[in-house]
Amino acid sequence: MSGRLSVIGLGPGDAAHVTPEASASIAEATDLFGYGPYLDRLTLRADQHRHVSDNREELDRSRAALVAAAGGKTVAVVSGGDPGVFAMAAAVCEAIEHGPPEWRDIELQVVPGVTAMLAVAARSGAPLGHDFCAISLSDNLKPWDVVETRLKAAAGAGFVIAVYNPISRARPWQLGKAFEALRETLPSTTPVIFGRAAFRHDEKIVIKTLGEADPAQADMATCIIVGSAETRVIERSGRAPLVYSPRQSAGGSR
Ligand SMILES: C[S@@+](CC[C@H](N)C(=O)[O-])C[C@H]1O[C@@H](n2cnc3c(N)ncnc32)[C@H](O)[C@@H]1O
């Protein structure tokens, strides 16, 4: 008796960005698994069961959700932003790959959501208007020298870089090191957007240059967009500046 499992992206935080598909999947679920703050965004019925776990327990949460689905439940695993971007969809796939064969028969659906870099970009103009990439600064899941190598390669190749997981209490120095690495490659005038809690009530968008960028401006709820040498800032009287990367690129990395 195999049930269903949906891995659902709830978007950056505003109810307006929860897609109709996500809402329908949440309404169908009998059992919902997730990190507490994400489950707290939902209004559930009395017959729906919440299974809260810590944010660092992604694989255990995935296995518990798969066990419930294999037992015939209609299960939802919720994630902030998009579930496939540094989030639960990959953890569920990993659990399936290494789990019992019957988990491969579970009907799996990944429901996309608006990821943080798109939310921050929308709040600041169009910094992702040309080629870009996304890098997680967390060295819990990969060695730090890999992070630095990728940052330098991306900056050197002219990509705009969206930096997820920039800093936390357990990872206090990595963002400063990342800015140092980027300053070796990019001009100090390169625009840097600190997008905190985009589309939430405590949103804060701050635009600096790479020369001015200070790790203290970021926290765990911040996604940082580092421009390329071609990213531009349009100052506007009485309004926030617009940051954009032109659709046309002259090529070259600097
Ligand atoms: C574990 S990752 C999850 C990303 C999520 N799956 C997504 O697609 O946005 C958590 C990181 O996403 C970024 N983030 C999530 N929501 C955000 C928001 N509303 N505004 C800015 N950054 C956000 C932050 O960099 C945070 O450290």
Q: Tell how far the Cα of 164 is from the centroid of ligand 1, in angstroms.
A: 6
144: which 2 tokens?
């730090």
Mean pLDDT of 223-239: 97
In a domain, 251, yes or no: no
140 & 240 share domain: yes
Q: pLDDT, tens digit, for every residue of 94-152?
A: 999 999 999 999 999 999 999 999 999 999 999 999 999 999 999 888 999 999 999 99
What pLDDT, on the 0 to 100 scale, is given for residue 87?
96
Mean pLDDT of 208-218: 98
Q: Report the atom number in ligand 1 closest to the C-alpha of 195.
A: 21
Mean pLDDT of 66-77: 97
pLDDT higher than threshold 90 for residue 54: no
End-to-end CA distance of the chain: 58
Strands (E), the chain: 4-9, 31-35, 49-53, 74-79, 107-111, 125-126, 132-136, 160-164, 191-196, 204-209, 222-226, 232-236, 239-244
pLDDT higher than threshold 80 for residue 12: yes
What's the domain count of the chain? 2
Residue 154 is inside which H or E element, if any? helix 144-156
DSSP class of residue 27 equals H
In a domain, 134, yes or no: yes
Last residue of a domain, one of 88, 114, 140: 114
63 & 124 share domain: no
86 & 37 share domain: yes
Mean pLDDT of 60-79: 97
104 & 161 share domain: no
Q: pLDDT, tens digit, for every residue of 159-196?
A: 999 999 999 999 999 999 999 999 999 999 999 999 99
pLDDT higher than threshold 80 for residue 252: no
As a whole number of angstroms, the distance between CA 238 and CA 231 comes to 22
DSSP class of residue 77 equals E
Please give the residue range of the domain that contains residue 131: 117-244
Q: Tell how far the Cα of 152 is from the centroid of ligand 1, in angstroms.
A: 22
Mean pLDDT of 214-221: 97
What pLDDT, on the 0 to 100 scale, is given for residue 251?
74
191 & 100 share domain: no
As a whole number of angstroms, the distance between CA 6 and CA 115 comes to 17
240 & 124 share domain: yes
CATH classification at residue 130: 3.30.950.10
Instruction: Give the pocket of ligand 1 (CB within 6 Å).
Output: 12-13, 79-82, 85-87, 115-116, 119-120, 164-166, 195-200, 220-223
Q: Tell how far the Cα of 13 is from the centroid of ligand 1, in angstroms.
A: 10
125 & 105 share domain: no
Q: Which of the listed residues 164, 174, 192 should we mutate to test ligand 1's pocket, taking the one with most ligand atoms within 8 A of CB?
A: 164
pTM of the model: 0.96
106 & 143 share domain: no
Q: Tell how far the Cα of 81 is from the centroid of ligand 1, in angstroms.
A: 6
104: which 2 tokens?
């491969």
Last residue of a domain, one of 67, 85, 114: 114
As a whole number of angstroms, the distance between CA 129 and CA 122 comes to 11
202 & 219 share domain: yes
pLDDT higher than threshold 80 for residue 198: yes
Q: Which of the listed residues 137, 223, 225, 226 should we mutate to test ligand 1's pocket, taking the one with most ligand atoms within 8 A of CB?
A: 223
Last residue of a domain, one of 53, 86, 114: 114
172 & 153 share domain: yes
Strands (E), 56-117: 74-79, 107-111
